[in-house]
Structure 1
Amino acid sequence: MPADEPSAGEKSDIIRFGNKIDDRRQLKILVADDIEDNRTLIQLYLKHLPYRLDFARDGEEVIDSWRSRGPFDLILMDMHMPKVDGYQAVSKIREVERTEHLERTMIVALTASALKEDADRSVQAGCDRHLTKPITRESLQRAISDTVTEPTRAERGVGGPRPRVYIKRELEPLMANFIENRRSELDRLDQAVQAHDLSDIIRITHSIKGVAGTFGFARISELAQLVHDSAAEADMIKVRQSHANLREHWDRVEIVYS
């Protein structure tokens, strides 16, 4: 989008709200949709909230705005736009972030399809969440809040004394192999989460939750189940949060033989 402010009588595609709110408290959001009515509706839904909005009409404008006007806290991305579609735009943004070591921009996919296959495709392209049209004020505001808000350590229930797992003495000869195998699985899970590989995430966490439960690591099994379920829902926000909880618990747990 042009960087200059429009002259009198011209319509601006760049809409900013919350001018009376301290900029340090505003979220900077880029909204990408080729249909003017959809952009206007989002503008209405987010009116009076502490968000500063930029608008783009196709994937090319998204990439240009992200490069020239960023960083953005969030991009609301229609996945079906002319010229460059949302899938291509997201993939390009993720590629640049990786090669230039840029901080990750959170992206919510907006599509008219509620099919799981389309949600999976959005996540595979690099989106963090999938929101089905027609969107409501409540669903949009909830998606924004959930996507840009990361839980604190206290909210995740971590920190404090190290968690202990009491294992029967007869299992001690098996523990070295158990620990090594789980470490290997968790390393592969790290890679799968980084790559947004939902099928690998589901497969690995299915294995972790089963074996961990068998050996008496109930909390690890529960946390792996949460990652598994989040991946099954194609919700990468929940995947990353639950994966972080699983990783942190594993790194802190102590084994006590009884």
Structure 2
Amino acid sequence: DYDLVLMDVLMPELDGYQATAIIRDVKSAVRDHSIPVIAMTAHAMKGDREKCLAAGMDDYIPKPIDPRELLEKIEEWTCPGKKPGAPEKRVEPAENTVSNEPLIIETALERTMGDREFLSELLQMLLSGLPEQIKTLHAALASGNTEAFAAQAHTIKGAAANLSVEGMADIARRLEQAAGRGELALMSGILDELEAEHRRLEEYVGQIDWSSIGKDIP
């Protein structure tokens, strides 16, 4: 049995809204139709939280995820006798506030609770997965499949933002927006930026002296 569901709103095949509808449907094979569902989404637009709640979810956390906020939400919904309080207002950074560095190492370490080894592993996972993701973007662009293109850009945006890779997250955000408007020429140009940022991030991460930052976690 599970105590709680962390629901990614944008997923392939079945999105978070559809999955939640199945969970809440008493005719479905789900064992616990009242299990708490917390939405996690890179969308941070006005009305997104209300849309998630209207779909049957119980709470909402925008990406990039703050580990402390996530733990607080889990505690609120899983501790017996503790009723969730009113959600705290979260101020999102302005979209045009992007660092010149490919990675904000201090913020990234905060997200991994200071665990430099874990952060290093996550960054390597991001870097190793990007070539295939970029290949998918090229294929979607070539076929004119803007929906698949936007979905892949959204995935990259969320992964990069969660690790404080702000430049890449911003590029992926612009890719997603361009795909939403069907601007193929613009998508192609921004995709070139993404590939260049991938190389820049790879070089930057390769030069990090991990022994001089963060701490070891036993």
TM score, norm. by length of structure 1: 0.35
Q: Which has the higher contact order (CA 8 A, sep 6+)?
A: 2
